[in-house]
Amino acid sequence: MKRAKKILATLLSLTLVIQLVPHAVFAAEKPDPITDGSYEAGTIMWKDGEYNKGDSAKSMCNCMFAEKADIQVKGDNTELKLYVVYPVPLFPQLGADGTIKSMSIAYNNETYKATVDIASKPKKTFAVEGFGIKPGDVLPAEILTVTIPTAALNEKFLNVTAFVNVIMDRNVDFDMELTGLDKTEAQKTLDQAKKEKLDEIEKATLTDADKKDKTEDSIKKAEAKLAELKAAAKKSVDEATTVEAVNEVKVDMAAVKALLADKEESTALDYKNLKDGVYAVEGHMVKPNKKDLSMSDRGINNNVKLTVKDGKYYITLDFKGIDLMGQFGYLGEMKYFLSGYTTNQYGVPQGKTADAKVEGFELDKDGNVIKDQYGTNYPDKVTFELIPEAIEDGYAPLQVFVPVMENLVQGTGTQKVYLNLKWETIEKVAVDDGRFDEQTTPGKPDANKPDTNKSDANKLNTNGKAPKTGDEANLYAWLLVVLAAGTAVVAVKRKKEN
């Protein structure tokens, strides 16, 4: 019996010497394109140069390789795992340290060596009969793992060298064909999950409803955040290796929408760096002490129009008539101080001035330019350029002339005041915003049709002295004039002269 086995081994050895001559690895029919993922392929071993010439051209080693090889594609590199029966059923006493002790694949003048794992011994299905192996047998196997360029899968064959440790006990070359290269079912399921998740990520967006009544700046920030999160989510999907990991990927839309700010709740405008446009800002005429309201404040619309054009600021004031101690009148003219102005010890502005541009004249109810005992062509709206100092501190130095005040006290008609702009109230508005039109009725029931035949008892004499109508009345008149003009020194001096 022992002699018979020895003879059989010798015959098999001779057969292997004849058949295990230089061969190549033939690539399987491959999907187009070959993308990253897990694949399976059948394995067929062929005699040298006899690829696909029928069963007689197949190597006797063919039966030693499991039905399927595992292939993992990742970018430019592909990991190939081949499974070889271990031990060989017919010769269990041979190849104790591996059925195949080493293997390498040559490609483009480079040699890629496989690692051999005889410890794991996974059970694999074998499809070819031989050496005690029957089709369908599930047997323990050693693992040959080799990493080759992914491009090698496009070649028809590759040179393979293996040290066959059973019977031959030496290096031999043979051909190997990978058949039916296809992704595993698990990989197909994973790919489908990734495709659906990527579609979901792509659809993540801010709707028109989300952006309604939100500031442009906050919308830009939210969209930038969304793009960042979508890119990160796509990367996570690409790197995921399980369906569970894919399903965990989300785009945090709550974090994106949290960046949206309502227009009415947006941060205050940077009044020092406004974009071109029209703005509304609250404004008041104040005395040189910058604390007390000037009497002239009653003669302006406190909704001040600010126009920014080419980076320059322009103020437009809407004037109205006022009743001053029974005398009804209008602004006669306005000048504004140029940049570089100074102030005296009382805060009164000093320096060069320029005329404000008159935008229109006060009209009566019939549309005629008003004319009264003090004059005519009273400005209705005036515009002037806001100097840098006023932009900085909110105080625009002005010089106004009010004929009715000049009539009350000679020399007091010309007043130096400040237009105090409340920058914290500024807001962007439409060009035709109704706030800029006169909203309050001046100090007479029929303000636009003043009575020009007032009694001289309400005027001061041409010498600037008040008529003698009683000390109490004169004192009240003087105080009002002082408050309106902010020139207490002149008023008190003239009172003493009386």
pLDDT digits (tens, 9 = 90+) for 190-237: 999 999 999 999 999 999 999 998 888 899 999 999 999 999 999 999
- In terms of Cα–Cα distance, which of 423, 420, 425 is closest to 396? 420
Q: Which of 43-47, 368-372, 463-467 has the highest mean pLDDT?
A: 368-372
> 415 and 400 in contact (C-beta within 8 Å)?
yes
CATH number of 275-455: 2.60.40.1850
Phi-psi region of 88 (alpha: psi -120 to 50; beta: other; left: phi over 0): beta
Q: What is the pLDDT of residue 28?
A: 46
Cβ-based neighbours of 395, under 8 Å, separated by 6 or more = 286, 290, 389, 418, 419, 420, 421
> 426 and 449 in contact (C-beta within 8 Å)?
no
Q: Is the pLDDT of residue 157 over 70?
A: yes
Least confident of 126-135, 272-281, 372-381, 485-494: 485-494
- In terms of Cα–Cα distance, which of 179, 174, 152 is closest to 24? 174
Q: Is the pLDDT of residue 339 over 70?
A: yes
* H or E stretch at 194: helix 185-203
- pTM attached to this predicted model: 0.47
Q: What is the pLDDT of residue 268?
A: 67
Share of residues in the chain with pLDDT > 70 (%): 79
Q: Is the pLDDT of residue 10 over 70?
A: no
> 406 and 268 in contact (C-beta within 8 Å)?
no
Q: What is the pLDDT of residue 457?
A: 31
Do the domains 2-183 and 275-455 sit in the same CATH topology, yes or no? yes
Q: Which of 156-160, 260-264, 319-323 has the highest mean pLDDT?
A: 319-323
- In terms of Cα–Cα distance, which of 374, 362, 386, 331 is closest to 438? 362
Q: What is the rounded CA–CA span in Å between residue 38 and residue 55?
A: 29
Mean pLDDT of 319-335: 83
pLDDT digits (tens, 9 = 90+) for 94-130: 989 999 999 999 899 999 999 999 999 999 999 999 9
Residue 453 or 252, more confident: 252
* H or E stretch at 226: helix 216-239
CA distances from 144 to 79, 116, 126, 193, 378 (A): 10, 5, 16, 31, 103
Q: What is the pLDDT of residue 72?
A: 95
Share of residues in the chain with pLDDT > 90 (%): 52
Q: Is the pLDDT of residue 153 over 90?
A: no
Domain ranges of the chain: 2-183, 187-265, 275-455
Residue 266 or 198, more confident: 198
- The pLDDT confidence band at residue 185, using thresholds 50, 70 and 90, is very high
> 20 and 60 in contact (C-beta within 8 Å)?
yes
Residue 464 or 433, more confident: 433
In the block, which residue shows the tokens 């399976």? Answer: 40
Q: What is the pLDDT of residue 431?
A: 82
Q: Is the pLDDT of residue 443 over 70?
A: no
Q: Is the pLDDT of residue 448 over 80?
A: no
Q: What is the pLDDT of residue 322?
A: 80
Cβ-based neighbours of 213, under 8 Å, separated by 6 or more = 262, 263, 264
Q: What is the pLDDT of residue 436?
A: 87
Q: DSSP secondary-structure letter at 274?
A: P
Q: Is the pLDDT of residue 477 over 60?
A: no
Q: What is the pLDDT of residue 320?
A: 85
Mean pLDDT of 449-478: 35
pLDDT digits (tens, 9 = 90+) for 44-57: 887 766 666 677 78
Q: What is the pLDDT of residue 27?
A: 46
Q: What is the rounded CA–CA span in Å between residue 457 and residue 113?
A: 120
Q: Is the pLDDT of residue 471 over 60?
A: no
- The pLDDT confidence band at residue 345, using thresholds 50, 70 and 90, is very high
> 183 and 32 in contact (C-beta within 8 Å)?
no
Q: DSSP secondary-structure letter at 294?
A: P
Cα 171–chain centre separation: 63
To the nearest whole number, what is the mean pLDDT of the chain? Answer: 81
Cα 61–chain centre separation: 62
Mean pLDDT of 457-462: 33
Cβ count within 10 A of residue 488? 13
Q: What is the pLDDT of residue 450?
A: 41
Mean pLDDT of 174-195: 89
Mean pLDDT of 121-145: 96
**Four-way CATH pick for 2-183: 2.40.50.320, 1.20.120.450, 2.40.260.10, 2.60.40.1850:** 2.60.40.1850
Mean pLDDT of 335-347: 95
Q: What is the pLDDT of residue 178?
A: 83
| Half-sphere exposure at residue 484, Cβ-oriented, CA atoms within 13 angstroms | 25
Q: Is the pLDDT of residue 408 over 50?
A: yes
Cβ-based neighbours of 147, under 8 Å, separated by 6 or more = 77, 78, 79, 80, 112
Read off the amino acid at residue 280.
A
Where do the H-state alpha helices sit in 353-470? Answer: 388-393, 403-408
